[in-house]
Amino acid sequence: MGHRHRRQALLHRARGRRIGVPRRLGRLPQRPPQARPHPPLLVISDGGAGLISACELVLGCSLRQRCLIHKCRNVTSKVSRHDLAEFKKEFWEIFDTTELGLPPGQRLVETVQRRIDAFAAKGEKTYPAAVKSLLTDRSSLTSYLRFPVEHHKRIRHSNFIERTFGETRRRVKVIGRFPGEASCVSLAFAVLDRAATGWRGFTTTPAALRQLEGMRRDLLNPVSADVIQPAPQDHEPPAEAA
């Protein structure tokens, strides 16, 4: 087989490859409840189908936020250079909630979702591909609006964790090859743990802590309706006959 035919065969196999969750993720050992780590309240991801499927499988109780910086790049890549600056400005104005004066929660999420609808209606005829990219997985664009306001600008993108990729690659070059999966995971967590000590920008107030605890209770430990027992009703004693 010639070089050109081998290349066509490889391209054909690559295009037909199915991207999804590895099978072993579905066979993770089940730990007892007291030994399981607490899942995070929020998972920030890009648009990778495999990562999204893994989050839904393993962290189904957690909220998922689509990185707005990645989404902005995906949307504006389908816009002409002449309209790029104005289009990008209007995109970020969708998520500017400083003047709304609404507390975090469902009402704020619905308000921003209406802004997305208005933005899509305005640019649908001019840039249909960009609007289609914006509306894809749109529910994950506003998950961060349920969290404390002082955290919004930090948790709506994945820049925090992406800065650690370079440090991880630098350490991997020194090692060359990992002896096993455990050593690879240990290195990744060590880099993240060290980077987390220097993160800035998260202002945690007592009100924010109470809000996060309430979200953790509602999302990760919901009270089942079967557990709630109706309160005993006080029956009035029968009236005595005169």
Q: Which residue has the higher pLDDT, 22 or 125?
A: 125
pLDDT at 118 over 80: yes
Q: How many helices (H) and strands (E) does the chain have?
A: 10, 2
pLDDT at position 34 is 53
Tokens of 238: 């029968």
Output the CA–CA distances (angstroms, integers) from residue 136 to 113, 130, 175, in the order listed.
13, 10, 40
When pLDDT is cut at 50, 70 and 90, the band that residue 3 belongs to is very low
The C-alpha atoms of residue 145 and residue 65 are separated, in whole angstroms, by 10
CA–CA dist 177, 4 (Å, integer)? 33
pLDDT tens figures, 186-231: 888 888 777 777 666 677 788 888 999 998 888 877 654 444 444 4
Write the single-letter amino acid at 124: E
Angle in degrees, 0-180, between the axes of helices 84-94 and 106-123, rounded to the nearest 10 = 160
pLDDT over threshold 90, residue 144:
yes
What is the residue-averaged pLDDT of the chain? 78
Kindly state the helix (H) or strand (E) to which residue 165 belongs, with its residue range: helix 159-175
DSSP letter (8 states) at residue 161: H
Res 76: pLDDT: 93
The 8-class DSSP code of residue 36 comes to S
Element (H, E) at 63: strand 63-66
pLDDT (tens digit per residue) in 33-86: 554 567 888 988 888 888 888 888 888 888 999 999 999 999 999 999 999 999
For residue 18, what pLDDT is reported? 43
Q: How many residues does the chain have?
A: 242
Q: What is the pLDDT of residues 92-101, one digit of tens each?
A: 999 999 888 8
Q: Which residue has the tokens 């090692």?
A: 175
Long-range contacts of 99-106 (CB under 8 A, 24+ apart): 103/149, 104/145, 104/146, 104/147, 104/148, 104/149, 104/211, 105/145, 105/146, 106/146
* 99 close to 56: Cβ distance less than 8 angstroms: no
Mean pLDDT computed over 144-158: 90
pLDDT in tens, 163-193: 777 778 888 888 878 888 888 888 888 887 7
Can you tell me which residue has the tokens 């920030």? 44
Residues 6 or more apart from 26 whose CB is under 8 A from it? 57
Per the model's pLDDT, the better-predicted residue between 72 and 161 turns out to be 72
Contact (CB, 8 A) for 100 and 113? no
How do 42-45 and 63-66 pair as beta strands? parallel
- pTM here is 0.69
The whole-number average pLDDT for the span 224-242 is: 48
